[in-house]
């Protein structure tokens, strides 16, 4: 059922009160219409009734008894509220206070809350209300909305938000706004929209592209491995004083060259930047070459680049050390990777999650799982939070060493301790269990996975079913097949043929007929 058309209007009862109203195309006077949030019009919220407006009013009233709700307090209430519907109700209810008018900060907060929840019809309603306000707005509101629309692949809306800046903010968009819009369009590969936007900016806004604008174009061409076009932009920049290539331009081009395996040209460009243009490289620029050498299998040259970096007054950061460590790990040089890790700490740098995970992976690949788990404990002691990648590396290391009980215990307990695990976490262990023929443990893990809403990989599911059948585990095979099918899995013909054959041999004909009926219904 489609949502009925609703016209959201702003009614100024006084200069101090602002409301969002919902009306149907009828002749009823506005004053008689009940207030309703635009969010209540969405299908999602119809399935789950929102708390009555009175509860929000009561909450705000309780706050009001103690003190006046300032803009800062209103912002905190909205930020803390998880339900966007209730957040919008708070936004509207606080306007009942005498002398309260929403400002740019409160509007920015509610729009961010709604956009994060993808409640875009409600965003539009709030934006329409803003056009009636007399307060000064800042373009940052629209830059934030542009990012949310881009993440939701609503690229036309990105341009729409840019064009809304001047009417609402009452100022021309800044170069930052232009750069943000162009970058989002280029990053999303919306080249036609980007061209249209640049044309508009040149004609209507009298845009004179600066280095930032050109750098976005260079980045786009490098990303698409079109280095010829990237260097054409680079040469065009050299002809202009206001858009002359800077350290970001050179770093981007060097990275593009390294990604294409043109390492020597990247080094030559680095030397041109330093010697000819007198542009000082930063840690990011050095990291491009460090990473390039590592990918090319020249880790020793990457280490010399780090030494050169330090001698020239640019101290390596955690990111540089992690890149070098990763290079040594790929070359299976565990000792050298550990030396880099220790050197990083000796210079007073605090290893981050990536640094620890890199070294943990190196230990796991070398079969030193105990050393890896010790590093995991050290992370906890140093209050460096391990992420899903870290735990997946540990789980893979445990399974390679055949320590399945420990891996299964981690899968069971970690979520209870607040650790987020993804489907890969379970799949890693299940794949190893199937490969090693640990079928009893595999069926236990399958129950845990499905109970937590994670579906095994299609190939692994079929492999497990076939292995269970070949092992004569008829009951486990039948149960596993039904459970997987409940989650939308369709077994390959070989899988259920093996299952039917095995059940027939066990003379469980009723079960055979039930299974055939279920498979036939699901295929239809």
pLDDT digits over 205-220, tens only? 777 778 888 999 999 9
Total Cβ atoms within 10 A of residue 47: 7
Q: What residue segments make up the domains of the chain, in order of their start?
A: 1-133, 467-524
- Give the pLDDT score at 33: 36
Higher-confidence position of 517 and 178: 178
Confidence of residue 441 (pLDDT cuts 50, 70, 90): very high
Quote the radius of gyration of the chain (alpha carbons, Å): 30
pLDDT in tens, 125-143: 999 999 888 899 999 999 9
- Give the pLDDT score at 360: 95
Question: Which long-range contacts does 16-25 make (Cβ < 8 Å, 24+ apart)?
Answer: 16/95, 16/97, 16/98, 16/99, 16/100, 16/101, 17/95, 17/96, 18/92, 18/95, 18/101, 18/102, 18/129, 18/132, 18/133, 19/92, 19/95, 20/88, 20/92, 20/125, 20/126, 20/129
Q: Is the pLDDT of residue 149 over 70?
A: yes
pLDDT in tens, 50-76: 444 445 555 555 555 557 789 999 999
- Give the pLDDT score at 481: 79
- Give the pLDDT score at 14: 30
- Give the pLDDT score at 203: 79
Q: What percent of the chain has pLDDT over 90?
A: 59
> Taking residues 309-326, what's their average pLDDT?
94
> Taking residues 337-346, what's their average pLDDT?
95
Calculated CA dihedral for residues 410, 414, 420, 426, nearest 10 degrees: 30
- Give the pLDDT score at 502: 64
Q: Identify whether the C-beta of residue 72 lies closer than 8 Å to the C-beta of residue 15.
A: no
Position of tokens 């162009």?
182
| DSSP 3-state of 140 | helix
Q: What are phi and psi of 436, to 5 degrees?
A: -90, 0
* pTM reported for the whole predicted model: 0.69
Confidence of residue 369 (pLDDT cuts 50, 70, 90): very high
- Give the pLDDT score at 514: 56
Confidence of residue 119 (pLDDT cuts 50, 70, 90): very high
Confidence of residue 492 (pLDDT cuts 50, 70, 90): confident
- Give the pLDDT score at 123: 95
Q: How far, in Å, are 14, 168, 224, 250 from residue 231 at the CA level?
A: 59, 39, 13, 10
> Taking residues 459-468, what's their average pLDDT?
85
- Give the pLDDT score at 27: 36
Position of tokens 């640019």?
314
Confidence of residue 371 (pLDDT cuts 50, 70, 90): very high
**Mean pLDDT, the chain, whole residue set:** 83
Q: Is the pLDDT of residue 469 over 70?
A: yes
Gap between the Cα atoms of 73 and 63, Å rounded: 10
Higher-confidence position of 372 and 470: 372
Higher-confidence position of 29 and 373: 373
> Taking residues 418-426, what's their average pLDDT?
90
Beta bridge partners of 9: 21
Helix axes 404-413, 388-400, angle to 10 degrees: 160
Q: Is the pLDDT of residue 322 over 50?
A: yes
- Give the pLDDT score at 66: 53
Q: Is the pLDDT of residue 234 over 80?
A: yes
Q: Is the pLDDT of residue 227 over 90?
A: yes
Gap between the Cα atoms of 489 and 356, Å rounded: 37
- Give the pLDDT score at 192: 84
Q: What percent of the chain has pLDDT over 70?
A: 81
Q: Is the pLDDT of residue 513 over 50?
A: no
């Amino acid at each position: 059922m489609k949502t009925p058309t609703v016209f959201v209007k702003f009614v100024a009862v006084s200069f101090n009160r602002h409301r969002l109203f919902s009306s149907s195309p009828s002749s009823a006077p506005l004053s008689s219409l009940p207030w309703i949030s635009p969010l209540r019009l969405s299908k999602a919220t119809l399935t789950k009734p929102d708390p009555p407006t009175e509860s929000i009013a009561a909450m705000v009233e309780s706050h009001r008894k103690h003190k006046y709700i300032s803009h800062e307090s209103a912002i905190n209430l909205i930020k803390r509220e998880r339900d966007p519907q209730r957040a919008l109700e708070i936004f509207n209810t606080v306007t009942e206070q005498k002398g309260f008018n929403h400002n740019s900060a409160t509007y920015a907060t509610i729009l961010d809350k709604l956009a994060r929840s993808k409640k875009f019809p409600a965003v539009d309603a709030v934006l329409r209300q803003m056009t009636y306000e007399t307060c000064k707005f800042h373009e940052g509101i629209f830059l934030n909305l542009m990012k949310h629309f881009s993440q939701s692949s609503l690229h036309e809306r990105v341009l729409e938000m840019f064009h809304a800046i001047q009417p609402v903010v009452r100022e021309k968009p800044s170069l930052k706004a232009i750069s943000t819009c162009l970058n989002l369009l280029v990053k999303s590969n919306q080249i036609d929209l980007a061209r249209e936007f640049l044309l508009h900016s040149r004609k209507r806004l009298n845009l004179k592209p600066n280095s930032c604008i050109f750098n976005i174009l260079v980045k786009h061409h490098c990303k698409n491995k079109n280095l010829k076009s990237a260097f054409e932009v680079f040469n065009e920049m050299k002809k202009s004083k206001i858009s002359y290539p800077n350290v970001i331009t050179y770093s981007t081009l060097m990275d593009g060259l390294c990604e294409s395996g043109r390492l020597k040209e990247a080094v030559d460009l680095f030397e041109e930047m330093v010697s000819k243009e007198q542009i000082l490289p930063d840690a990011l620029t050095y990291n491009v070459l460090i990473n390039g050498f590592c990918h090319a299998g020249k880790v020793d040259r990457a280490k010399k680049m780090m030494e050169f970096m330090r001698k020239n007054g640019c101290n390596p950061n955690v990111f540089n050390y992690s890149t070098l460590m990763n290079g040594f790990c790929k070359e299976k040089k565990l000792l050298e990777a550990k030396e880099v890790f220790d050197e990083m700490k000796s210079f007073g740098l605090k290893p981050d999650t990536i640094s620890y995970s890199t070294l943990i992976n190196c230990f796991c690949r070398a079969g030193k799982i105990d050393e890896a788990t010790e590093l995991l404990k050290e992370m906890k002691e140093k209050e460096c939070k391990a992420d899903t990648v870290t735990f997946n590396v540990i789980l893979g290391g445990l399974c390679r060493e055949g320590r399945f009980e420990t891996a299964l215990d981690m899968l069971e307990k970690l979520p209870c301790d607040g650790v987020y695990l993804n489907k890969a976490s379970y799949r890693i262990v299940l794949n190893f269990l199937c490969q090693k023929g640990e079928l009893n443990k595999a069926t236990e893990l399958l129950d845990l996975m499905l109970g937590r809403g994670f579906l095994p990989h299609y190939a692994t599911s079929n492999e497990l079913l076939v292995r269970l059948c070949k092992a004569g585990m008829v009951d486990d095979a039948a149960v596993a097949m039904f459970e997987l099918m409940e989650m939308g899995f369709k077994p390959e013909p070989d899988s259920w043929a093996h299952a039917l054959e095995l059940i027939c041999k066990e003379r469980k004909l009723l079960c055979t007929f039930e299974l055939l009926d279920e498979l036939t219904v699901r295929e239809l």
